[in-house]
């Protein structure tokens, strides 16, 4: 999440009641989770297991609950008791929740030729391009950007909260919701079916590339980046921070785990489960997925096992 303008670390420290270790006059340009951090960003870490990963990330400033770490050159620490709560406070400050007072916000920008059907909700700072069709009962949450010639079918929600929680089992409430400060970007010529859900980024963006087509009941998780000209059949579900490259086809009920990549022009057959990164240009099947031809040979072999066993029994 970018800040409207860079702010000093001293200002951030005062906001979250943190001690600065390093240059308190350094500037922070935004705040992001570890998967999306860039130079100038703040990131938070509250478990020793992840200290090293955060300290060696692209983030320039680290909100942390310990000073007993080796600080790389050029990094600044903001030390506080509850880094997660500090993150929440920063997001609330720069991206506060504002209750809607009307179905279509006065701040929404809607391009020429775009049709908005009855009972559509369009939140603050939404931008919709030209010649789009937004069917009834669609909900487009604040800060969403939609390109030209986009079709969104009835009942779909764009920009819903991320399913993302800070987990600690030493407190009464184990799972605390991590506020979503990101948005959704839908490029030109995308079609999204009925009753789909596209979560906004936690601190960055969820992006759907130009020309991608989605069937009904598809779920896209937070911070997912989908390339151009992809095709997703019904009930596909993609978990957070995953990258789907150009031209990928996912057939019905394919499930894709988090933070992995499916390479360009890969095709995954129906009801498969993708648990790790896949090379592009190949066909896959199964759960966990394998090369489709190999998997089919295995299934043929399994079907023949009773026959083979019977032959062996007679020989024995």
Write the DSSP string, 235-295. T-EE-TT-EE-TT-EE-TT-EE-SS-EE-TT-EE-TT-EE-S-B-TT-EEETTTTEEHHHH
Q: Are 29 and 40 in contact (CB under 8 A)?
A: yes
Question: Domain ranges in the chain?
Answer: 2-94, 109-292
Q: Is residue 140 helix, strand or coil?
A: strand
pLDDT (average), residues 28-32: 94
CA-CA distance, 62 to 77, in Å (whole number)?
A: 5
3-state SS class at 15: helix
State how far the Cα of 136 lies from the Cα of 116, in Å rounded to an integer: 8
d(CA 194, CA 189) in angstroms, rounded, equals 16
What kind of architecture, by CATH, is found in domain 2-94?
3-Layer(aba) Sandwich (3.40)
pLDDT tens-place string over residues 228-278? 999 999 999 999 999 999 999 999 999 999 999 999 999 999 999 999 999
Q: What is the CA radius of gyration of the chain?
A: 23
Q: Based on the number of CB atoms within 10 Å of its own CB, is 186 exposed (0-12), middle (13-18) or buried (19 or more)?
A: buried
Residues in the chain: 316
Helices (H) and strands (E) in the chain, counts: 4, 34
- What are the beta bridge partners of residue 273? 255
Q: Is residue 53 classed as helix, strand or coil in its secondary structure? A: helix
- Burial call 133-157: b when 16+ CB within 10 Å, e when fewer: bbbebbbbbbbbbbbbbbbbbbbbb
Cα–Cα distance between 241 and 172 in angstroms, integer? 28
316 pLDDT band, cuts 50/70/90, is: low
Matching CATH topology for 2-94 and 109-292?
Answer: no
Q: Looking at the annotation, which residues are catalytic?
A: 222
- Please tell me the predicted confidence (pLDDT) of residue 304: 81
d(CA 221, CA 232): 14
Q: What fold characterizes domain 109-292?
A: UDP N-Acetylglucosamine Acyltransferase; domain 1 (2.160.10)
Backbone angles phi, psi at 116, to 5 degrees: -110, 110
Residue 153 main-chain phi, psi, to 5 deg: -85, 170
> H helices within the chain, ranges in order?
9-16, 51-55, 83-94, 292-315
- State residue 158's pLDDT score: 98
Question: Cβ distance 163 to 184 under 8 Å?
Answer: no
Does pLDDT of 53 surpass 80? yes
| Separation of alpha carbons 157 and 76, rounded Å | 39
Residues 92-128: pLDDT tens digits? Answer: 999 999 999 999 999 999 999 999 999 999 999 999 9
Chain centre distance of CA 155: 20
Tens digits of residue pLDDT in 183-227: 999 999 999 999 999 999 998 999 999 999 999 999 999 999 999
Please write the tens of the pLDDT for every residue from 273-297.
999 999 999 999 999 999 988 888 8
């Amino acid at each position: 999440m970018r800040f409207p303008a860079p702010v000093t670390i001293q200002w951030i420290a005062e906001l979250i009641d943190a001690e600065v270790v390093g240059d308190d006059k350094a500037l922070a340009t935004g705040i992001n989770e570890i998967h999306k951090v860039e130079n100038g960003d703040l990131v938070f870490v509250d478990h020793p297991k992840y200290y090293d990963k955060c300290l060696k990330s692209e983030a320039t400033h680290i909100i942390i609950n310990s000073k007993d770490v080796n600080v790389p050159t050029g990094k600044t620490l903001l030390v506080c008791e509850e880094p997660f709560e500090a993150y929440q406070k920063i997001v609330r400050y720069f991206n506060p929740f504002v209750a809607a007072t009307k179905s279509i916000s006065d701040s929404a920008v809607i391009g020429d030729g775009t049709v908005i059907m009855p009972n559509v909700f369009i939140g603050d700072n939404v931008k919709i391009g030209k010649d789009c069709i937004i069917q009834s009962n669609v909900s487009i949450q604040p800060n969403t950007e939609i390109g030209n010639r986009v079709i969104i079918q009835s009942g779909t929600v764009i920009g819903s909260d991320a399913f993302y929680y800070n987990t600690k089992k030493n407190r009464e409430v184990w799972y605390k919701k991590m506020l979503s400060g990101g948005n959704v970007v839908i490029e030109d010529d995308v079609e999204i079916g009925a009753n789909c859900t596209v979560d906004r980024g936690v601190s960055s963006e969820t992006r759907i590339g130009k020309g991608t087509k989605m069937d009904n009941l598809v779920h896209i998780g937070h911070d997912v980046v989908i390339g151009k000209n992809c095709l997703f059949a019904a009930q596909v579900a993609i978990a957070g921070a995953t990258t789907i490259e150009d031209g990928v086809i996912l057939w019905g009920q394919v499930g894709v785990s988090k933070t992995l990549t499916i390479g360009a022009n890969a095709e995954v057959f129906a009801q498969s489960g993708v648990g790790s990164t896949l090379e592009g240009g190949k066909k896959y099947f199964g759960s966990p997925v394998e090369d489709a031809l190999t998997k089919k040979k295995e299934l043929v072999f399994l079907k023949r096992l009773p026959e083979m066993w019977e032959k062996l029994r007679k020989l024995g």
